[in-house]
Chain A
Amino acid sequence: QVQLQQSGPGLVKPSQTLSLTCAISGDSVSSNTAAWNWIRQSPSRGLEWLGRTYYRSRWYNDFAVSVKSRITISPDTSKNQFSLQLNSVTPEDTAVYYCARSGYYAEYFQYWGQGTLVTVSS
């Protein structure tokens, strides 16, 4: 059974960088059949897919156009986890952030982290 455990601060100041980590158990961040995603949810935007990282003989990333210029998603194979960095945040980035697993030719999210409410405020 795949389990995802999120960690990171719940308050970030405007213009700074939002950083979250998702620790994986029951699977490997280097799996050739998984992809590791970040998704956020806010009352104004609903669910919004942000991006993912995955390994298929080498590392790949895909990002939503809305955040492509500000986002980094990185795997950490030594700790079997992956992270999200979102730069130059504004109050519009206030949301509950989730990590989630999808699969190879399995473009759905069956396993989710517990969610982290991140508030952007000075």
Chain B
Amino acid sequence: QSALTQPASVSGSPGQSISVSCTGTSSDVGGYNYVSWYQHHPGKVPKLMIYDVSNRPSGVSSRFSGSKSGNTASLTISGLQAEDEADYYCASYTSTKTVVFGGGTKLTVL
């Protein structure tokens, strides 16, 4: 099972919006609505930000949103804040009953 494809890095200024893409195949991202997104600050535990493509857990800011089209899912962060600077990973359930993560995207807030 190959890792999902994410851009290595994205950046934006405070207040702006950015999107992170996550591309898989019809056997993972495109085949199931089981895409999730995690925020990871180095040295801390990863935090669930989005589950089932577009759902936010309780306590996660509404500035975070998720979507999917075909084999590509996207995480959008609006109104960028300094504390959003982190690594972001997507994950998907797969047809072989496994889970695959993306390679991770480093978000820099300029």
Contact = CB atoms under 8 A, between A and B. Distances in A.
Contacts of B34: 107-108
A109 B40 contact: no
A55 interface: no
Contact of B97 (A47, A62, A106, A108): A62
Contacts of B104: 46-47
Contacts, number: 60
Interface residues of B, number: 26
Contact of B91 (A41, A108, A115): A108
Interface stretch (B16-24, B45-53, B70-78): B45-53
Contacts of B101: 46-49
A46 B51 contact: no
Interface in B26-79: 32, 34, 36, 38, 40, 45-46, 48, 51-52, 57
B46 A62 contact: no
B100 interface: yes
Interface residues of A, number: 21
8 contacts: A46-B3, A49-B99, A64-B1, A98-B46, A107-B32, A108-B91, A112-B45, A115-B45
Interface of B: 1, 3, 32, 34, 36, 38, 40, 45-46, 48, 51-52, 57, 87, 89, 91-93, 97-104
Interface of A: 37, 41, 46-49, 62-65, 98, 102, 106-110, 112-115
Given A49-B99, A107-B92, 15 more contacts: A41-B40, A46-B89, A47-B38, A47-B40, A64-B98, A98-B46, A106-B52, A107-B32, A107-B34, A108-B51, A108-B91, A109-B38, A109-B48, A110-B51, A112-B46
